[in-house]
Amino acid sequence: MMISPLLAAADTAGVGVAPAWVLAIPFLPMLAVVLTTLCAISKNKTKLPAWITVGCLAGSFVVTMLAFMTLSGETNTVTAWRWFDLSWGDGVGQQMVANLGFYIDNLSLLWMMFVTGLATLIAIYASEYMEHDVGKGYTRFFFAFALFVFSMLCLVMGDNLLLLYLGWEGVGLCSYLLIGYFYKKPEAVAAAKKAFIVNRIGDLGLAIGVMLTFVHFGTLEYAELFNSAQLQGYIAAVQEGRAGDVPLMAQLIAVFLMIGAFGKSAQFPLYVWLPDAMEGPTPVSALIHAATMVTAGLYLIARMLPVFLVSEWALPVVAWVGTITALLAATIGMAQFDIKRIMAYSTVSQLGYMFAGLAFLTSTGGVFHVVTHAFFKALLFLCCGAVMHGFAGQLDLRKLSGLWHMKGWRIVSVGMLIGCLNLAGVPFTAGYFSKDMILAEAFVTPGYGYSLLGWVLLLTAGMTAYYTFRVFFRVFTGPVQFEAGDEHHGSDDHGQDGHAHEDHAQGHFHPHAPGIRINAVLATLSVLAVLAAGLYFVSPDKHGWVGDMLEESTAHNVYTADHSAAAMFVIDGDTHGAHGHDDHGHADDHAAHGAHGGSILGMDPHKVMYYVSAVFGLTGILIAAWAHGPKGLVSGFIGGRVEAGKCRMDGVAAKLGPIPRWAENKWYVDEFYHFILVRPLRVCSHIFHMIDKLLVDGLVNLFGYLPRLLGRGAQPGQSGVLHGYALSMAGGVGVILFIVVMVTL
């Protein structure tokens, strides 16, 4: 194994060599890790760790943009140093090469840009948000923050599955450290352990998938895997309708990788860790739930899409699980009162949309929704964090109202509105365009009941719009009322320039509005969330800028090179095609689908979905306005809420019986898991503990105790008392005589 840095020569046709400066992208966050460690050793009690982290992450983002401008459209590799280079023969699969090297194509560039960019903004936000903990905790936070970004970049940029797995485990470790940051709080400790353990279940699937990949294809390197004649032969067999010719092991690889993706991206049934992760600081929630860790599963499927397409079961399962997750999380989000948890369940639901999009063979739609969701969900989480920070930890929407009308809270309110409009899929927002691609594709991709899934996702879109604006109407509109959260311990010296709303406040509590750094980040994300919609109109013939980017990556090249109907993927007799497009970027069903094309209400889904999804989304918003809007919103019919804690939905919920309570309690999924998994495992652990203690340790202790027991038995005979020895001798003689007499008789 060599450790000297070098540039790897590309052995695979079409793969070039990236310049050495690309290595700065992952290693700048690692530099921040080293420097924050030195800050901890020197017991630094300033904000230096924050600015070190911000500077290194900003530098990584700048280098990423330079890589995008110079390397976009190409596939290159660059190796920092040789890591694993093992050989035990000359045959296929008898050499394992896994360097600390990076694979730079449009897919990795796309992820790298929003990971480094958003991480920089969130670090700036955290520099103010975490001010209360300047010192040892402040340094520990930014150490884990920088290590998280480094691990995520290794996951995204790695040129082999082993390095991806290293980054995968790294983000899992860092999420444990960040979620459990408040380690003196039992709920935070429990949430961190829950996230770590649930993710280990998915990670086992990923590990098996990586091992099967090496055993079957003989390589872990992307460049060799994607260009191998073996994989290309499987893809050709699927194109020709001979999916049965693909070996079982090759099909199982995608299934195990899928399990890993479900764990990291919080899909049913492994989604339960993500809502509890809200116990970490809000910047952690934005970092983990917006664009980084939870999108790792999406990246894995997009990167390994050629392998997924040769499996008969993987993508259909992904579609159904993604849709079920989207619906389930939406029903829970509708009944929650903690605004951060509502956003957490929203993340789970939107991830379900993304998985469904990839499974519907619209990688453009799925990845475009990853990009748009990254901006507006980070914005929503950070707005919720600003509210929590200013109101002493208060997150209950029944105890907050009218922030729009409070001095110092207008940027937060506008940012929240922009984020809600995107999440609800209001027409002409970024979330509207990206979600429509997925919804339309559900109706044109044949087989496996995908049309039914399309209707379920449309219903979920309406529910999403409802619970999103339920938060906005309750917290940001209506009368100005608020209560301090659990973190309030007396008078706050950071009032709103003396404007305290004494008649509404609890005691003498004065909420403090966010400072310049938080407001600057929220304003920047608001602008980016608005501008993201414009990406849809760049390269419209390729479904926008994201489609153009993916055309030169593994997430696209498994379809067809020219968007024609010539290359069709047939699985179990159903045709999964790369859909043609007309000049406006819509699917041309005559060219691409033919007899297999789907429809919605007898029309082309790609053309009518704009209107159908808008109806569902706007209906959800109107219902939210009627149930939770302030009095007099629209002529007295829409709205009616006159205080923070009561609204029209209270009466509706009372008529639904126990259903709202079940949804508020998350359908008791956690309790069910505890009953069928946690409790039996705990009982088994106690049983094995007793077996270990009584049987295993008992036997060892018995063999150790027997000599001591024998020694103690003989100890009285060696007392040193003369008449005792005489008595023993007489007794011995008597026993011998008794034996002789008995034998003689």
Angle separating helix axes 363-390 and 430-444, nearest 10 degrees? 140
What share of the chain has pLDDT > 90, as a percent? 54
Has residue 382 got a pLDDT over 90?
Answer: yes
Res 489: pLDDT? 46
Average pLDDT of the chain is 85
Res 81: pLDDT? 87
484 falls in which pLDDT band (50, 70, 90)? confident
Res 640: pLDDT? 72
Lowest mean pLDDT, pick from 121-125, 351-355, 571-575, 649-653: 571-575
**496: exposed, middle or buried (C-beta count within 10 Å: 0-12, 13-18, 19+)?**
middle
Res 636: pLDDT? 54
Close Cβ partners of 266 (under 8 Å, ≥ 6 residues apart): 273, 274, 294, 325, 347, 348, 351
Q: Give whole-number Cα distances, 231 to 79, 174, 205, 349, in Å.
A: 25, 35, 21, 33
Structure tokens at 439: 């919804």
In this prediction, residues 634-652 reach a mean pLDDT of 76
pLDDT digits (tens, 9 = 90+) for 655-676: 888 999 999 999 999 999 999 9
Residue 409's identity, in one-letter code, is W
Residue 215's identity, in one-letter code, is V
Dist CA 277 CA 180 (whole Å): 8
Please name the residue that has the structure tokens 């929240």: 416
In this prediction, residues 393-413 reach a mean pLDDT of 91
CB-based contact 291:113 (threshold 8 Å): no
94 falls in which pLDDT band (50, 70, 90)? confident
Structure tokens at 665: 């309690």
CB-based contact 347:294 (threshold 8 Å): yes
Close Cβ partners of 612 (under 8 Å, ≥ 6 residues apart): 439, 458, 600, 601
Has residue 722 got a pLDDT over 90?
Answer: no
Structure tokens at 588: 């041309």
Dist CA 600 CA 609 (whole Å): 8
Q: Give whole-number Cα distances, 147 to 169, 391, 585, 638, in Å.
A: 12, 30, 40, 48
Residue 707 CA, chain-centre distance (Å), reads 59
Give the other-Cβ count within 10 Å of 166's Cβ. Answer: 17
Give the other-Cβ count within 10 Å of 388's Cβ. Answer: 20
Q: Among the residues of 218-334, which ranges form H helices?
A: 222-226, 229-239, 248-264, 273-276, 282-286, 296-303, 305-309, 314-333
69 falls in which pLDDT band (50, 70, 90)? very high
Res 488: pLDDT? 54
Residue 169 CA, chain-centre distance (Å), reads 13
More confident site: 578 or 80: 80
Dist CA 160 CA 213 (whole Å): 11
| 153: region left, alpha or beta (phi > 0 left; psi from -120 to 50 alpha) | alpha
Please name the residue that has the structure tokens 């339309």: 440
Lowest mean pLDDT, pick from 304-318, 464-478, 702-716: 702-716
CB-based contact 298:358 (threshold 8 Å): yes
Lowest mean pLDDT, pick from 41-55, 138-152, 560-574: 560-574
Helix (H) or strand (E) holding 652: helix 649-655
0.85 exceeded by pTM: yes
CB-based contact 444:605 (threshold 8 Å): yes
Structure tokens at 14: 């079409």
Dist CA 112 CA 63 (whole Å): 10
In this prediction, residues 553-582 reach a mean pLDDT of 44
- Largest Cα–Cα distance of the chain, in whole Å? 123
Dist CA 490 CA 329 (whole Å): 37
Has residue 68 got a pLDDT over 50?
Answer: yes
Helix (H) or strand (E) holding 78: strand 76-87
Give the CA count within 13 Å in the CB-facing half-sphere of 373.
29
Torsion of CA 317, 323, 326, 329, to 10 degrees: -70
Residue 520's identity, in one-letter code, is A
Give the CA count within 13 Å in the CB-facing half-sphere of 103.
26
Has residue 712 got a pLDDT over 70?
Answer: yes
Dist CA 258 CA 209 (whole Å): 9
Has residue 678 got a pLDDT over 50?
Answer: yes
Has residue 630 got a pLDDT over 80?
Answer: yes
Give the other-Cβ count within 10 Å of 734's Cβ. Answer: 10
Res 594: pLDDT? 35
Dist CA 93 CA 272 (whole Å): 38
**Strand, coil or helix: 482:** strand
Q: Which of 283, 294, 523, 531 is nearest to 416 (CA)?
A: 523
CB-based contact 158:302 (threshold 8 Å): no
Q: Is the dihedral of CA 649, 650, 655, 661 positive or negative?
A: positive
CB-based contact 75:104 (threshold 8 Å): yes
Res 637: pLDDT? 61
pLDDT digits (tens, 9 = 90+) for 158-178: 999 999 999 999 999 999 999
CB-based contact 352:332 (threshold 8 Å): no
